[in-house]
């Protein structure tokens, strides 16, 4: 077996060492232009030339949950695109979202500002029943986030393209359920895959349906959010704030108004990082399963985009 590694902005050697340990019988190398044809590839943001040259690939293993950038490229005919199911990302995402929700609910940002100003202050405790959290996207990561939020007794709603059932979570689906889901939510967490149908879905209309004083947490893709619409809703007072981990342009340009907005908390696309050892183990297991003719999880439907 010939395994090739083509991951932009990723240190290759640790990945190669892990893959070679998992497949001592295989050839595992970093792709170079003109390289021999590989059977499978481990990729992240590969150039089009790589895909044009590697026409014999049986599978592309993407070292992340999001495959939107990969699906924009011309892929070899018949190749399977396989994404990571979890590989240690879901617990990180649950940590991040719970932290952001609790920070807003408990007004820790306000306390932090007061302390910096040398002010000793108290705020009236809020009633968590008034802070329903809506999780938009109920895949592996979204379901883990929704379950984690229930531990803190927040009312949790979930929305997905097709119906799903999660214990303790009010689930909604499809276009019919979207409006009900949004109007029931005071905090909105976006975990949708980026597809042509979901691009710009966080806009003036959808965010405007959140309960007054709503709060946005975007941990999916920057292209889901219409930046100007968020700023307008914050300035109008309909939204109380936002925590943003993803942006249309990354790194976020220094002149972008998000940097200085007092109601926006920014992090540099770090809500759930790829964990190398866990990812290699998952990829290796899937490659072995494919070799044995067994079905695997995480195969992307190119039409749906995830």
Active site residues: 221, 269
Strands (E), 120-266: 133-136, 156-160, 170-173, 187-190, 214-218, 239-244, 264-266
In this structure, what token pair is assigned to residue 108?
A: 């820790």
DSSP 8-state code for residue 248: S
Residues 6 or more apart whose CB falls under 8 angstroms from that of 156 comprise 132, 133, 134, 135, 146, 149, 150, 168, 169, 170
DSSP 8-state code for residue 259: G
Looking at the DSSP bridge assignments, the partners of residue 42 are: 5, 61
Q: Taking the CB of residue 111, how many other CB atoms lie within 10 A of it?
A: 16
Short-list 301, 88, 304, CA closest to 194: 304
Q: Which helix (H) or strand (E) holds 61?
A: strand 59-62
In this structure, what token pair is assigned to residue 47?
A: 């150039």
Q: Which helix (H) or strand (E) holds 81?
A: strand 80-83
User: From CA 219, how far away is CA 215, in angstroms rounded?
Assistant: 13
The alpha carbon torsion through 138, 302, 174, 230 (nearest 10 deg) reads 70
């Amino acid at each position: 077996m010939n395994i090739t590694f083509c991951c932009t902005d990723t240190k290759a050697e640790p990945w190669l060492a892990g893959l070679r340990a998992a497949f001592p019988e295989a050839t595992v190398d970093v792709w170079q232009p003109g390289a021999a044809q590989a059977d499978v590839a481990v990729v992240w943001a590969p150039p089009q030339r790589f895909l044009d040259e590697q026409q014999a690939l049986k599978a592309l293993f993407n070292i992340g949950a999001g495959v939107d950038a990969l699906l924009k490229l011309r892929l070899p005919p018949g190749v399977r695109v396989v994404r990571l199911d979890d590989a240690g990302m879901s617990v990180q995402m649950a940590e991040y979202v719970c932290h952001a929700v609790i920070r807003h609910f408990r007004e820790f940002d306000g306390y932090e500002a007061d302390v910096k100003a040398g002010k000793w202050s108290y705020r009236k405790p809020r009633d968590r029943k008034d802070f329903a959290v809506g999780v938009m996207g109920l895949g592996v990561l979204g379901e883990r986030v929704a379950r984690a939020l229930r531990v803190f007794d927040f009312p949790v709603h979930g929305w997905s393209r097709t119906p799903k059932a999660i214990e303790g979570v009010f689930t909604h689906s499809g276009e019919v359920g979207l409006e009900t889901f949004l109007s029931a939510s005071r905090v909105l967490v976006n975990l949708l895959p980026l597809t042509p149908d979901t691009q710009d879905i966080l806009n003036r209309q959808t965010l405007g349906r959140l309960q007054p004083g709503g709060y946005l947490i975007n941990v999916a893709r920057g292209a889901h959010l219409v930046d100007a619409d968020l700023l307008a809703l914050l300035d109008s007072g309909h939204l109380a704030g936002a925590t943003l981990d993803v942006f249309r342009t990354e790194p976020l340009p220094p002149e972008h108004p998000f940097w200085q907005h007092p109601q926006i908390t920014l992090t540099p696309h770090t809500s759930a990082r790829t964990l190398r050892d866990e990812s290699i183990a998952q990829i290796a297991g899937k490659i072995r399963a494919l070799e044995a003719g067994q079905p695997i999880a995480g195969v992307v439907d190119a039409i749906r985009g995830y």
